[in-house]
Amino acid sequence: MNGFASGLMEALLRDSAFILPQLFLAGLGTLMLWPGDLLFHKGEKHKWAPVTGAILIVVLALVFRTPEGTGFSGMYRVDGLTKGFQILSILGALGAVALSQRLLNALKEQTVEYYALILFSLSGMLFLCGAVDFVSFYFSLELMAICIYILVAYLRKQERGVEAGLKYFLLGAFSSGLLLYGISLLFAATGGKTTNFAEMGQLLPVVSQSNTLLVGAGVLMVLVGLGFKVAAVPFHMWSPDAYEGAPTPITAFMATAPKAASLAAFIRVFQTALPGVADQWMLPLGYVAAASMILGNVAAIKQQSMKRLLAYSSIAHVGYMLLGVMCGPEGAQATWLYMATYLVMNFGAFAIVIHLQGTGEGERIEDFRGLKDRHPFLAFAMMVFLLSLAGIPPLVGFFGKFYLFQMAVTQGHITLVTIAFLTSVVSAFYYLGVVNQMYFKDAPALAEGAEPEATGMATTVIVTVACVLVLLGTGFAKPLLEWAGGIGSEKKASQVALR
Amino acid sequence: MTYAWLIPVLPLLGFLVNLLVGKKVGKGFVTAVAVGSVTLSFILAVRLFLAMKGADGHRLDLAYFTWMQTGALTVPFGFTVDPLSGTMMLVITGIGLLIHLYSVGYMHEEEGYYRYFAYLNLFVFFMLTLVLGDSLVLMFVGWEGVGLCSYLLIGYYFETDYAPDAGLKAFLTNRVGDLGVAIGMMALFAAFGTLTVSGILTQAGHLAPEVGFGFLTFATLMLFVGATGKSAQLPLYLWLPDAMAGPTPVSALIHAATMVTSGIYLICRLAPVFQLTPTTLTVVAWVGGLTALFAATIGLFQRDIKKVLAYSTVSQLGFMFLGLGATGFAAGFFHVFTHAWFKALLFLGAGSVIHALHHQQDLFKMGGLKSKTPVTFWTMLIATFAIMGLPPFSGFFSKDEILYLAYLKSPLLWVIGVVAACCTSFYMWRLMALTFWGEPRDHHAYDHAHESPKTMTVPLMVLAVGSALFGFWGVPEAFGGHFAIGEWLKPALTFGQLHGEHGHHAGPAIALAATSTVLGVIFGLFGWFKYKDGLAWEEGFIAKFPAVHRVLLNKYYVDEAVELTILGPLRWFGNVCWKLFDVILIDGVGVNLPAALTKVAGDFVALFQTGRVRNYVFTMGLGVAALLYMLLK
Amino acid sequence: MPSPNAVLIISFLLFSTGVAGILIRRNALVILMCAELMLNAANLNFIAFARHSGSVGGQAFALMVMGFAAAEVAVGLAIVVALYRRKATVQVDDINLLKG
């Protein structure tokens, strides 16, 4: 027994190098709650944002320095895929923290737990990116989700916030039940032998005939659970409501960071654990992807609320990204790239929405009327982001789409790519609708003597950086693709790592 | 040639500078930046053109860096300068410069002066990217970019109700076309494994022409769909007349001289591939011919001076496609070239008239301006000679070449072309007579009319010289020339491969040309004669043939027909999914899109997104059940 | 030792009960309980098959799931309480401000 304990200790110490960023996040998050909350009194609570930002930047650096390899009895793995999506998640959190200042300063009470929750949920995402076993996978997914439930309902005195939180929570609990049951069926199909992705990947294709139903149903429920997390149709119902009701920085956060992590898990599960039974999930996943593209884009057309529009647009973008999931290992880099471009343009757009919300506008699309006169730069940047979301070249959004679609064509998903093309045509319609409001409609008269509010530092920086990236990003396609190349080699590596 | 990249980048810098600081600094600075950047770009373009002319095989490949590289796909970032793109480059920067100058005078009272010039510069940048790009990806960047600028500039007068909608309509119709280009691009990639123009053309040279409907036919047809969007052909032409809501110089540059010809340019660029697909070429020829006739007849009785010119542009673009379809790539492009000069001139002249009459665009309220605006009158007269195909003005040679090739393809196409040309002569002389001859019909406007300032008339004169003389670049063999432009473009159009040449037989060529010219002159004289004294004849015509007139004036009721036959039943009987599909189709025709689409989308979403958790769970459950069914089936 | 396949049937019944409850009940608290039923159905599978194959992994998984479930319920109840404070109801049909 002593030998076992010391062996365990040794293994933990050895493997902790892989999860240093998470340990750092969870540790500092806890310290922030106590005794950190004594550090700044209420009047100084705005100092938490830079502190959290600094923590996130350190974590980003740590991720880059994390050694590659598998640890914790084959439960957690660090490779190109892990790191690539971890970086996106961290950037998403960083953006959310930077944009949260004004919202939180307006509250009376201490707000340190808001930042701590972001850190905890981020640590869940980082685990999720590297989870290669259903145990660690489910554990990280829940860690991530539970923190976000609270964040969505964070403004507990607003009815909408609480409603959004409750809806998200109830549906989340439902989907998590489906997911876990699916995992248990897969586990049963292997004869109760393993929950490890790679081992499952070998066992599942050769299960006995009587168990094929188990496999099929299991695969399906896992698909449903993951589809819920990334808000793919028809498991997307929570997302427009949650996006609209949540505090806007959290909306921006939800649209990017957890999505990146869940996509990483999506790729990992379907390309490592279930590639052998691809005939069971390829078709359903294709339908889910197509439905997401169609419904997301069509539903966005009639939206009056900017946040709901971005929610539906996000559903549509997930549809495109699922194409990448279907494309095998090479699809992983295309998905990553698409997610990276989506993150940048999405945060740019949200930064503008959040800034306008501070002055009581920005919630509705009408509020963007005549923005070019009030905020010429913001209007221009918003146009750039929206056009990029619509996939107009030469903005990065086009680059991401082009690369992904080209990949899907070479893999033979012609029908889906055609749908993707068609729906992206439709998408131009509602994005341009907003541009029309900003550029071609007169502004509502400002109150006498009222000046449009100056943009804060965080907003200016985020909008400027995002705008430059969106405008020039395509020029750096080659180095980006070379870097992303490490993500695609995931499958082979994981098979080598089999014990 | 290290300076070549500056040619597109200079206007881009102009755009950025004017957009960022234009509002604060004065109009003088804005002018200096905008016109200066295009001037420099033009000078460099001339240098580059001369360098290309001196180069081996008339071709310069300027590769800058590898843009994307992964697995099977390598996309370099570079420019190709050859006779085709070089000529286009000169047209864009040259006519672009003239139109910038003209705009200084035309737009001088506008508040959004800086915005206007910023967009115009951006347009030049994208247009040059489209023309010079050495890969389909880069060309596509320019292709979408010019559409965007067009959208921004059409919507420029946003105070009006219709301009922003017209911009949106143009953009969305173009998106439908762009979809074709994107699919065509993917198909070419699938067929050739590369997206560089030279790579595709090299491989295309080794292939035999496709019989019937093969994969390449599909690819080229898709590209042609894109071309019909950008170049306003049937059935995607509806946006161009609406696009006249933009400022007149924009109509001249974007919707007459350059952007709308990019569809033709695309086909010329890929001429060796299109050579392999005779089916596509036949389609191109017929669509072009029918568009030419269709639009020309609509142009007969329009009252808005810019609408006449807009339909005229659609019709002339049809002629160009007719030429391409008759395997006369050089002839089609020749017409692009001459048309750029005389149609830009016509639009700018119309702008000058509108300017003189303080934004009066109605032909019925003009008249007698000959002596008031002499420069405008004389220059527009030259352009009219050119467009009606009077020898030796430029339009004669290019149009004659197209009609001759059309005759070789099918005599019926020739007849269609000649009828369209007769209509052209008629409506042009109607326009001229109503504007410049007769008694002024609006005395107030007439009394205040004045000739435009120098910055507007000088570009008119330069364009007039071009419209008069540039036809001599392509005098056909039948008239003692040797179709120099064809020889000049040959390396670019054939890419070193064999090219199906038509032997020119002087006999029929001269007879055909004489027939069409004489008919054109007769119809032109008829138009002039009937309208030079006022509206009496048209009123008589209306009285005698009210139905014909109404049909033509109302553009064959296409908008209404779509409304009646597609939208009406759709609203009544359509279920959600069927509507959804059809709305995409209607998108292509561009009618009543906002209302229909919003409604359908509303129905669609309201079906699910009720706000109630139980319904959400139920939908998810349905989703699971559907997927399970798929699994067990 | 009973065949684990029998357990599959029981767990499926448990799972179906949970799903049905979520589908038809309106009380947020009951929905929460039904979600717990779904998790427990999965747990049953894990334990039965882990014992069948003799591996500890599945049993450990079940233990951890119980932990997650507790955390989830804690958060869920907090949100339900917050809702009750604002609207004095725990019926999910009463909340539909956000829709469309």
Per DSSP, the residues of A137-192 read HHHHHHHHHHHHHHHHT-STTSHHHHHHHHHHHHHHHHHHHHHHHHHHHHHHHTTS
Q: How confident is the model at residue B568 (pLDDT cuts 50, 70, 90)?
A: low
Q: Please give the Cα distance from B10 to B18 (Å, whole number).
A: 12
Q: Check residue B246 and report its DSSP letter.
A: S
Q: Has residue A111 been placed in a domain? A: yes
Give residue A24's pLDDT.
92
The vertex-A16 CA angle with A14 and A20, nearest 5°, equals 140
- Do B627 and A405 lie within an 8 Å CB cutoff? no
Q: What is the pLDDT of residues A13-27, one digit of tens each?
A: 888 889 999 999 999
Indicate whether B402 and B550 sit together in one domain.
Answer: no
What are the contacts of B79-82 at 24+ separation with CB within 8 A? B79/B4, B79/B5, B79/B132, B79/B133, B79/B134, B80/B132, B80/B133, B80/B134, B80/B197, B80/B198, B81/B4, B81/B48, B81/B49, B81/B51, B81/B52, B81/B132, B82/B52, B82/B58, B82/B491, B82/B492
- β pairing state of B60-70 and B73-81: antiparallel
* B505's tokens: 């037989």
pLDDT exceeds cutoff 60 at A448: no
Listed by number, the residues of chain A in 168-187 with a beta carbon closer than 8 Å to a beta carbon of chain C are 169-170, 173-174, 176-178, 180-181, 183-185, 187
Indicate whether B454 and B592 sit together in one domain.
Answer: no
One-letter identity of residue B260: V
Q: Which helix (H) or strand (E) holds B65?
A: strand B60-70
Size of interface A-B (CB pairs under 8 A): 166
Q: Where are the domains of chain C?
A: 4-90
pLDDT above 90 coverage of chain A, percent: 42
Report the gap between the CA of C38 and the closest CA in chain A (Å): 5
pLDDT exceeds cutoff 90 at B61: no
Nearest neighbour of C99 by CB, restricted to B609, B614, B618: B609
Domain boundary among B480, B507, B525: B525
> CB-based burial of residue B65 (10 Å sphere; 0-12 exposed, 13-18 middle, 19+ buried)?
exposed
Give residue B511's pLDDT.
80
Residue B442, SS3?
coil
Q: Which residue has the higher pLDDT, A302 or B305?
A: B305
Contacts with B519 (C-beta within 8 Å, 6 or more apart), sequence order: B418, B421, B422
Domain holding A385, by residue range, is 17-496
* B325's tokens: 């379809």
- Do C96 and B617 lie within an 8 Å CB cutoff? no
Q: Has residue B1 been placed in a domain? A: no
One-letter identity of residue B247: P
The dihedrals phi and psi of B68, each to the nearest 5 degrees, come to -130, 145
- Do A392 and B164 lie within an 8 Å CB cutoff? no
Give residue A128's pLDDT.
95
Residue of A nearest to C38 (CA): A177
Q: Please give the Cα distance from B417 to B468 (Å, whole number).
A: 22
Partners of B149 in beta bridges = none
Report the gap between the CA of A32 and the closest CA in chain B (Å): 35
pLDDT exceeds cutoff 60 at A285: yes
- Do B621 and C100 lie within an 8 Å CB cutoff? no
Contacts with C28 (C-beta within 8 Å, 6 or more apart), sequence order: A166, A170, C80, C83, C90, C91, C92
Q: What is the pLDDT of residues C32-67, one digit of tens each?
A: 999 999 999 999 999 998 888 888 888 889 988 998
Q: What is the mean pLDDT of residues A161-190?
A: 92
Q: How confident is the model at residue A226 (pLDDT cuts 50, 70, 90)?
A: very high
Q: Which residue has the higher pLDDT, A448 or B547?
A: B547
- Do A170 and C35 lie within an 8 Å CB cutoff? yes
pLDDT exceeds cutoff 80 at B548: no
Partners of B304 in beta bridges = B362
Give residue A253's pLDDT.
95
Residues A440, B164 contacting (CB under 8 angstroms): yes
Q: Please give the Cα distance from B55 to B40 (Å, whole number).
A: 22
Give residue A23's pLDDT.
92
* B311's tokens: 């339909």
Which chain B residues are within 8 Å of C90, Cβ to Cβ? none
Give residue B287's pLDDT.
92
Q: How much of chain B is helix, strand and coil, in % rounded to 5?
A: 75, 5, 20
Contacts with B380 (C-beta within 8 Å, 6 or more apart), sequence order: B345, B346, B349, B350, B432, B435, B436
The vertex-A11 CA angle with A9 and A12, nearest 5°, equals 65
Q: Half-sphere exposure (CA, 13 Å, Cβ side) for A281?
A: 30
Which chain A residues are within 8 Å of B611, Cβ to Cβ? 241
Give residue B563's pLDDT.
56
Question: CB contact, 8 Å: A266 with chain C?
Answer: no
Nearest neighbour of A394 by CB, restricted to B66, B145, B167: B145
- Do C49 and A187 lie within an 8 Å CB cutoff? yes
Report the gap between the CA of A358 and the closest CA in chain B (Å): 25
One-letter identity of residue B406: A
Q: Has residue A2 been placed in a domain? A: no
Q: Which residue has the higher pLDDT, B399 or B443?
A: B399
Tell me the average pLDDT of chain B.
82
Q: How confident is the model at residue B597 (pLDDT cuts 50, 70, 90)?
A: low
Residue of C nearest to A164 (CA): C98
Residue A238's nearest CA partner among A175, A146, A329 is: A175
Provide the greatest CA pair distance for chain B.
84
Q: Half-sphere exposure (CA, 13 Å, Cβ side) for B116?
A: 28
Domain holding B625, by residue range, is 560-632
Q: Which fold has domain C4-90?
A: Helix Hairpins (1.10.287)
Q: How confident is the model at residue B606 (pLDDT cuts 50, 70, 90)?
A: low
Give residue A293's pLDDT.
93
Give residue B586's pLDDT.
43
* B598's tokens: 């919003």
Q: How confident is the model at residue A498 (pLDDT cuts 50, 70, 90)?
A: very low
Report the gap between the CA of C98 and the closest CA in chain A (Å): 5
Q: What is the DSSP string of B330-354?
A: HHHHHHHHHHHHHHHHHHHHHHHHH
Size of interface A-C (CB pairs under 8 A): 144
Give residue B71's pLDDT.
63
Q: What is the mean pLDDT of residues B559-581?
A: 50
Indicate whether B513 and B581 sit together in one domain.
Answer: no
Q: Has residue A407 been placed in a domain? A: yes
Q: What beta strand segments (E) does A29-164 contain?
A: 69-71, 76-78
Residue of A nearest to B168 (CA): A432
Q: Check residue B499 and report its DSSP letter.
A: -
Q: How far is CA B384 from CA A10, A437, B528, in A?
A: 91, 40, 12
Number of domains in chain B: 3
- For chain C, how big is the Rg over CA atoms in Å? 17
Report the gap between the CA of A179 and the closest CA in chain C (Å): 9
State the complex-level ipTM.
0.95
Which chain A residues are within 8 Å of B189, Cβ to Cβ? 406, 409
Residue A98's nearest CA partner among A253, A230, A260 is: A253
> CB-based burial of residue B503 (10 Å sphere; 0-12 exposed, 13-18 middle, 19+ buried)?
exposed
Residue of B nearest to C25 (CA): B614
Give residue B496's pLDDT.
56
Which chain A residues are within 8 Å of C60, Cβ to Cβ? 135
- Do B612 and C93 lie within an 8 Å CB cutoff? yes
Give residue B401's pLDDT.
84
Q: How confident is the model at residue A496 (pLDDT cuts 50, 70, 90)?
A: very low
Please report where in the chains the tokens 């913001």 appear, as a residue. A378
Which chain C residues are within 8 Å of A150, Cβ to Cβ? 75, 78-79
The vertex-A158 CA angle with A154 and A159, nearest 5°, equals 110
Residues A459, A382 contacting (CB under 8 angstroms): no
pLDDT exceeds cutoff 50 at A427: yes
Give residue B599's pLDDT.
65
Q: What is the DSSP string of A288-338?
A: HHHHHHHHHHHHHHT--BHHHHHHHHHHHHHHHHHHHHTTHHHHHHHHHHH
Indicate whether B543 and B591 sit together in one domain.
Answer: no
pLDDT above 70 coverage of chain B, percent: 89
Q: Has residue A118 been placed in a domain? A: yes
Q: What is the pLDDT of residues B113-170, one digit of tens each?
A: 888 898 899 999 999 999 998 888 888 888 888 888 888 888 888 777 777 777 877 8
Give residue A37's pLDDT.
74
Substitution target in A127, A181, A190, A308 with the highest count of C β-carbons within 10 Å is A181
Please report where in the chains the tokens 């209404």 appear, as a residue. B560
Residue B305's nearest CA partner among B365, B259, B231 is: B365
Indicate whether B480 and B465 sit together in one domain.
Answer: yes
* A396's tokens: 């990065």
Nearest neighbour of C23 by CB, restricted to B611, B612, B617: B617
Q: Please give the Cα distance from A182 to A200 (Å, whole number).
A: 14
Instruction: Please tell me the pTM assigned to this model.
Output: 0.76
The vertex-A337 CA angle with A152 and B8, nearest 5°, equals 120
Q: How far is CA B485 from CA B96, B489, B490, in A?
A: 22, 6, 8
Q: What is the mean pLDDT of residues A391-404?
A: 86
Residue A316's nearest CA partner among A418, A396, A423 is: A423
Q: Please give the Cα distance from A152 to A161 (Å, whole number).
A: 7
pLDDT exceeds cutoff 50 at A497: no
Q: Has residue B207 been placed in a domain? A: yes
pLDDT exceeds cutoff 60 at A499: no
Q: What is the pLDDT of residues B483-504, one digit of tens each?
A: 778 777 877 777 655 444 555 5
Which chain B residues are within 8 Å of A245, Cβ to Cβ? none
Nearest neighbour of C96 by CB, restricted to B610, B617, B621: B610
pLDDT exceeds cutoff 50 at A469: yes
- β pairing state of A76-78 and B60-70: unpaired
Q: Which residue has the higher pLDDT, A136 or B473?
A: A136
**SS3 per-residue string spanning A237-258:** CHHHHHHHHCCHHHHHHHHHHH
Q: Check residue A45 and report its DSSP letter.
A: G
Q: What is the mean pLDDT of residues B284-306?
A: 88
Q: How confident is the model at residue B56 (pLDDT cuts 50, 70, 90)?
A: confident
Q: What is the pLDDT of residues A42-90, one digit of tens each?
A: 677 778 888 899 999 999 999 988 998 888 888 899 988 899 999 999 9
Nearest neighbour of C92 by CB, restricted to B614, B618, B621: B614
One-letter identity of residue B69: Q
Report the gap between the CA of C24 and the closest CA in chain A (Å): 13
Give residue A43's pLDDT.
72
Report the gap between the CA of C55 and the closest CA in chain B (Å): 30
Indicate whether B314 and B452 sit together in one domain.
Answer: yes
Residues A186, A215 contacting (CB under 8 angstroms): yes
Q: What is the pLDDT of residues A294-351, one digit of tens each?
A: 888 888 887 888 999 999 999 999 999 999 999 887 788 889 999 999 999 999 999 9
Indicate whether B163 and B308 sit together in one domain.
Answer: yes
Indicate whether B517 and B608 sit together in one domain.
Answer: no
Residue A26's nearest CA partner among A109, A133, A149, A147 is: A147
| CA distance from start to end of chain C | 53
Indicate whether B510 and B618 sit together in one domain.
Answer: no
Substitution target in A184, A309, A364 with the highest count of C β-carbons within 10 Å is A184
pLDDT exceeds cutoff 60 at B505: no
Report the gap between the CA of A398 and the closest CA in chain B (Å): 9
- Angle at which helix B484-494 crosses helix B262-269, to 10 degrees, equals 60
- Do C100 and B611 lie within an 8 Å CB cutoff? yes
Number of domains in chain A: 1
Residues B489, B124 contacting (CB under 8 angstroms): no
